Amino acid sequence: MRSLSAILITLIVAPALLAAPTVFIEPAALTVNTPDSFEMSIRVDAGTDTLTGFLVEFEFDSDVIDLIAATEGSLFSDCGCQTLFGWDILGPGAHACHDVTLGAASYVLCPGELVTLRFLGTGPGTTALTLSAVDLRDMQRLPILPVFTEGAVVTFDPGTGVEGEETVTGISIGPGRPNPFADGTTVSFALPAGQAGGGVAEVLDISGRLVRRLVVPEGRTAGTLYWDGRSESGAVVASSVYVIRLSSGGRTAQTTVVKVR
């Protein structure tokens, strides 16, 4: 009887294990060599048929890349039912996203995209983008177990220019210190030689709207800029991710900072 029980348990458990979903990041490897933003996607495969909600926590090295936006993936946004999506900043390089269908009989059909992530490169290097925690919910809104995860690797390599072209060096900004910050943050900057005082620094929100202009001291090719976490009108801005962008001579450099509280 013990042998028969073991066989029955194996037959019952094995299909469940084979059907266990995998949450993964796509693309699994990416090299970025421009200051423009880029997107990555957190997805779930067909290891489970339906979902009513999820929570994903992920981590990366914010000295290499930084998250500037997280939006609801097509799996939930195109499901035809009401949903509630959220994005939380847990700390430098640590974020959480969650989504849930609203309504007793509402659900989404897998596979598909859970979250779209938009990043900026903040400094040369390579970082793992790791899924540190995942919680998937089934039709009864109970946890789905087990769940497997697959992270990604991102390399930010600004490069040194195209061979044969004149390379203008020296424009840079950031990172912010402290970051995240509550009351204010300071960023270092550098301009190409001969462009002293010719730079304009702007603080932008995650939608690209101007929040504040920062004055580059006249006659300086290097130094620091301070942002007190306020808008042009003097109002304290909301907790979020902001881009500080320095422009000079047709070239730009940018860094991201996180305002908390």
Which residues lie closer than 8 Å to 111 by C-beta, 6 or more apart? Answer: 43, 44, 45, 46, 75
* 212: in domain: yes
pLDDT band at 153 (very low <50, low <70, confident <90, very high): confident
* 3: in domain: no
* 15: in domain: no
Q: What is the CATH number of the domain that holds 30?
A: 2.60.40.680
User: How far, in Å, CA of 7 to CA of 103, rounded?
Assistant: 40
Max mean pLDDT range (53-57, 212-216, 241-245): 53-57
Could you identify the residue written with the tokens 């009864």? Answer: 140
Residues 145 and 180 reside in one and the same domain: no
Question: Considering its fold, how many domains does the chain have in total?
Answer: 2
Please identify, among 156, 190, 222, the residue that sits at the C-terminal boundary of a domain: 156
Q: What is the CATH number of the domain that holds 245?
A: 2.60.40.4070
Alpha-carbon distances, residue 185 vs 62, 88, 202 (angstroms): 16, 20, 14
User: For 173-186, what is the mean pLDDT?
Assistant: 83
Residues 150 and 53 reside in one and the same domain: yes
Residue 1 pLDDT more than 60?
Answer: no
Residues 188 and 247 reside in one and the same domain: yes
Domain that holds residue 255: 172-259
Residues 54 and 152 reside in one and the same domain: yes
- pLDDT tens digit string along 29-74? 888 887 678 899 999 999 989 999 999 999 999 888 888 889 999 9
User: How far, in Å, CA of 112 to CA of 187, rounded?
Assistant: 39
User: For 218-227, what is the mean pLDDT?
Assistant: 79
* 4: in domain: no
